[in-house]
Amino acid sequence: MSMNGDEAEYVVLINGEEQYSLWPVHREIPGGWKTVGPKGSKETCQSYIQEVWTDMRPKSLREALTRSNC
């Protein structure tokens, strides 16, 4: 059991802008998102997101900034 009493199972989603979201496993995945990473407790999924999502800027912004610095 999780420490906050939330026993639901979650998945980690990512969109085309490489932004992450925590999503209840029983809910339909919204358009434009796909599953990545673990499925499990909220804490497990949040830990994964914290580990991999090191740059919170959308992909399009990162790419635009890279182009403007060339």
Of 5 and 60, more confident: 60
Q: What angle do CA 57, 9, 2 make, to 5 degrees?
A: 95
User: Which pLDDT does position 55 carry in this prediction?
Assistant: 82
pLDDT for position 6: 66
**CATH class given for the domain over 10-68:** alpha beta
pLDDT, tens only, 17-62: 999 999 999 999 999 999 998 999 999 999 999 999 988 787 888 8
**What pLDDT does 66 receive?**
80
Tokens representing 31 are 């358009």
Where does the pLDDT of residue 1 fall: very low under 50, low under 70, confident under 90, or very high at 90 and above? very low
Residue ranges covered by each domain of the chain: 10-68
Note whether 10 and 33 are within 8 A (CB). Answer: no
